[in-house]
Chains A and B, each alone.
Chain A
């Protein structure tokens, strides 16, 4: 039981979640230098570590993800979503 939880607690990028799955944000990766801009915008919109994100669906042809956060609906480009790490929540 304990071991199973360990596996589920693994951090995955938001893009790994399937439509309808929920996750809690653990961190946002800022790889290109001190690019505060994009990280900042995410946080301004409420995508902060500890917040629950629901992946509603993704647009076709590897398009953006539709996510729901704190009652708002956002479109996140794949490049952005790949940098948001979450822990999958049990439905």
Chain B
């Protein structure tokens, strides 16, 4: 018997085990995408329970409901505009006070909610004991203790959720009572706001107006500018009384209430010996050992992604290419056969053998690094260096990954906080020479000129990254967000959650990247079938021959390189009929060619990843910029080298 559809949203701080609860609830019925137009992940899933079909939305991890980050904005809007039937606030029992700060704000949104008091085991380890009944009584909201990682309390949580939705929640929950002067002004403002029919609750709107919340201020101003003026006046009065900014006052008082509740319900007997998690933290952030461990772990990450990737990639392409005769027997060797095999199917092969073997293990390891809490330690150690290009420590991860493959590196940029930082990091990342570009550098410059020249190119690349990063940092609007980051206790990641997340993210990637890769492959094949190569080399010759001083034939190889960068060198060998490049290239030509191949365009899979994360416009911008940059740089290098050598 179906009783209809319900929506439940999960909300809570980052690192409280929300995604584990989400996975327990939804199992394999989930979908991971992005919030419309944002680089923030949106995880949705469904489950059936007691005759209901329940949609679960896992809101991004947040500390507050202000407008500091996109995540906070998204969460707040979702709750108020989409109005889920219930919000489950996942609270970390081991840091109760800070988590209650968000809880109190969620309660101000006046929505039905229950609390999952999670990580009870970690709290216990820290010697924290919580009186659940008392907490429930003080808040007036049902509280279910859970240990998500072991599945404890999840069923109860769901039962309670349904019970509340069916019965409705009685409104005897507490609300934050601010100081007398503040309450007077809230009341005054609430009354006026009530008249506007604004979609946020009136009291909440009043509070946010006093706090100077930019988004709500803007919306209210459109409806009635007199209200915002009034709010400013009232806020000023408060600032004069307290001597602090109004948002400080409100936050302090909210924390006061949170602290007061926390003190009443918890008793703490701190363990005498530091816990094993604390010891790990101390070692991994140590000023010498920390860096050694980091280097080791990153090398291990790198190594495992690329050994696994390389192995699987080989295996898969052997299998796929084994099918070629079958295709030939079906479609013949004519134009149709060429088109189906070389255009469509080779595109699929390229996607499956290049992207997938690397991004699947990458997603898995990234999840482990993130969920265990290690990423924040890397950010701590690397913050100072990354600041030089306007990014903070976390950006180190995508950049390092970029040396393997730009695709996962671009996807990793979502660990940055703001849209601006994400884009900046992704831009820098696409300049990092990936494994395929390393093939070009080593097999051309490394082999025929000397390994020291290859290393010089790497160094030069680093310089360019540094310089362009700085310029982009100055050019992009917005202020740099300084590092303010929680380093939560280390914890063991939940394996099945990690695997499921990896799977659903890979599926999402396939959906977006594959059509593009196949399309690119078809285009190149069509050019070949209609023998347009010559026309193209001629069209490109002003650039390739006149400006870059290269043989005209490289025009085609550069086009193939868009599909996969190592094709530039493979095609070169095919078209020239030799692998001894020193016969056809002068050393200067080799350097210029390598430089252009290094910078000229991210490969098509990277472009797809950029589109997925940042939208078409920004992806095109990066692509066009890098083509122009590579060509200009190549030409200038040629002229400089000519002068030096002659």
For window 39-80 of A, CB contacts with B under 8 Å fall at 39-46, 48-51, 57, 59-64, 66, 70-77, 79-80
Binds A, one of B111-119, B244-252, B443-451, B547-555: B244-252
**Given A57-B285, A66-B380, A73-B281 in contact, is the A46-B101 Cβ separation under 8 Å?**
yes
Complex contact A63–B248 (CB within 8 A): no
B492 at the interface (CB under 8 A from A): no
Which of chain B's residues have a CB closer than 8 A to the CB of A49? 244, 248, 252
Which of chain A's residues have a CB closer than 8 A to the CB of B98? 45-46, 70-72
Binds A, one of B82-90, B397-405, B480-488: B480-488
Complex contact A74–B484 (CB within 8 A): yes
Question: Contacting A48 at CB < 8 Å: which of B63, B255, B384, B489?
Answer: B255
What residue in chain A is nearest B376 (Cβ atoms)? A75
Alpha-carbon gap, A44 to B503, bound state (A)? 34
Question: Contacting B486 at CB < 8 Å: which of A27, A38, A45, A61?
Answer: A45
Complex contact B392–A77 (CB within 8 A): yes
Task: Point out which of B63, B64, B66, B484 has the most chain A C-beta atoms below 10 A from its C-beta.
Answer: B484
Which of chain A's residues have a CB closer than 8 A to the CB of B376? 75
Which of chain B's residues have a CB closer than 8 A to the CB of A27? 244
Which of chain A's residues have a CB closer than 8 A to the CB of B281? 73
Alpha-carbon gap, A66 to B381, bound state (A)? 11
Which of chain A's residues have a CB closer than 8 A to the CB of B488? 72-73
Which of chain B's residues have a CB closer than 8 A to the CB of A36? 212, 214, 247
Complex contact A80–B483 (CB within 8 A): yes
What residue in chain A is nearest B287 (Cβ atoms)? A60
Complex contact B63–A45 (CB within 8 A): yes
Alpha-carbon gap, A9 to B488, bound state (A)? 32
Distance in angstroms from A30 CB to nearest chain B CB is 8
Complex contact B287–A59 (CB within 8 A): yes
**Given A59-B285, A59-B287 in contact, is the A40-B66 Cβ separation under 8 Å?**
yes
B387 at the interface (CB under 8 A from A): yes
Complex contact A64–B97 (CB within 8 A): no
B379 at the interface (CB under 8 A from A): yes
B528 at the interface (CB under 8 A from A): no
Complex contact A70–B97 (CB within 8 A): yes
What residue in chain B is nearest A50 (Cβ atoms)? B252
Alpha-carbon gap, A34 to B528, bound state (A)? 59
A7 at the interface (CB under 8 A from B): no
Question: Contacting B380 at CB < 8 Å: which of A44, A46, A75, A80?
Answer: A75
Alpha-carbon gap, A71 to B281, bound state (A)? 15
Distance in angstroms from A40 CB to nearest chain B CB is 5
Distance in angstroms from B464 CB to nearest chain A CB is 24
Which of chain A's residues have a CB closer than 8 A to the CB of B379? 75
Q: How large is the interface on B (under 10, 10 to 19, 20 to 34, 35 or more residues)?
A: 35 or more
Complex contact A37–B252 (CB within 8 A): no
B132 at the interface (CB under 8 A from A): no
Which of chain B's residues have a CB closer than 8 A to the CB of A50? 252
**Given A63-B381, A63-B383 in contact, is the A43-B487 Cβ separation under 8 Å?**
no
Complex contact B482–A71 (CB within 8 A): no
Complex contact B285–A48 (CB within 8 A): no
Complex contact B97–A42 (CB within 8 A): no
Distance in angstroms from B486 CB to nearest chain A CB is 6
B479 at the interface (CB under 8 A from A): yes
A1 at the interface (CB under 8 A from B): no
B95 at the interface (CB under 8 A from A): yes
Number of interface residues, chain A, beta carbon within 8 A: 39
Distance in angstroms from A21 CB to nearest chain B CB is 18
Complex contact A80–B255 (CB within 8 A): no
Question: Contacting B484 at CB < 8 Å: which of A51, A57, A80?
Answer: A80
Task: Point out which of A30, A66, A71 has the most chain B C-beta atoms below 10 A from its C-beta.
Answer: A71
B35 at the interface (CB under 8 A from A): no
Q: Contact string, B210-248, partner A, CB cutoff 8 A, digits 1/0?
A: 001010000000000000000000000000000011011
Question: Contacting A43 at CB < 8 Å: which of B212, B251, B482, B485?
Answer: B251
Which of chain B's residues have a CB closer than 8 A to the CB of A41? 63-64, 68-69, 484
Alpha-carbon gap, A43 to B245, bound state (A)? 12
Alpha-carbon gap, A75 to B482, bound state (A)? 10
Alpha-carbon gap, A38 to B247, bound state (A)? 12
Complex contact B251–A48 (CB within 8 A): yes
Which of chain B's residues have a CB closer than 8 A to the CB of A75? 376, 379-380, 383, 483-487
Distance in angstroms from B538 CB to nearest chain A CB is 54
Distance in angstroms from B375 CB to nearest chain A CB is 11
Task: Point out which of A38, A40, A74 has the most chain B C-beta atoms below 10 A from its C-beta.
Answer: A40
Complex contact B251–A80 (CB within 8 A): no
Alpha-carbon gap, A16 to B644, bound state (A)? 51
Alpha-carbon gap, A74 to B98, bound state (A)? 12
**Given A63-B384, A72-B95 in contact, is the A37-B255 Cβ separation under 8 Å?**
no
Which of chain B's residues have a CB closer than 8 A to the CB of A77? 383, 387, 392, 482-484
Which of chain A's residues have a CB closer than 8 A to the CB of B101? 44, 46
Alpha-carbon gap, A66 to B252, bound state (A)? 22
Task: Point out which of A28, A48, A50 has the most chain B C-beta atoms below 10 A from its C-beta.
Answer: A48
Alpha-carbon gap, A66 to B63, bound state (A)? 19
Which of chain A's residues have a CB closer than 8 A to the CB of B489? 73
What residue in chain B is nearest A61 (Cβ atoms)? B384
Alpha-carbon gap, A44 to B102, bound state (A)? 8
Alpha-carbon gap, A79 to B481, bound state (A)? 10
Distance in angstroms from A49 CB to nearest chain B CB is 6
Complex contact A71–B380 (CB within 8 A): no
For window 476-500 of B, CB contacts with A under 8 Å fall at 479, 481-489
What residue in chain A is nearest B253 (Cβ atoms)? A48
Complex contact A35–B483 (CB within 8 A): no
Complex A-B: 22 CB contacts under 8 Å: A28-B248, A35-B479, A39-B248, A40-B66, A40-B251, A41-B63, A42-B484, A45-B63, A48-B251, A50-B252, A59-B383, A59-B384, A64-B380, A70-B95, A71-B97, A72-B95, A73-B281, A74-B484, A74-B487, A75-B484, A75-B487, A80-B482
Residues of chain B touching chain A, judged by Cβ–Cβ distance below 8 Å, are 63-64, 66, 68-69, 94-95, 97-98, 101, 212, 214, 244-245, 247-248, 251-252, 255, 259, 281, 285, 287, 376, 379-381, 383-385, 387, 392-393, 479, 481-489
Contacts A35-B479, A59-B285, A70-B95 known; list 16 others, CB within 8 Å: A40-B247, A40-B251, A41-B68, A41-B69, A45-B486, A46-B101, A49-B244, A61-B385, A63-B380, A63-B383, A66-B285, A71-B95, A72-B486, A76-B482, A77-B383, A79-B482
Task: Give the 9 A-B CB pairs with smallest separation, nearest first.
Answer: A77-B483, A44-B64, A43-B251, A60-B287, A63-B384, A77-B482, A80-B482, A75-B380, A44-B63
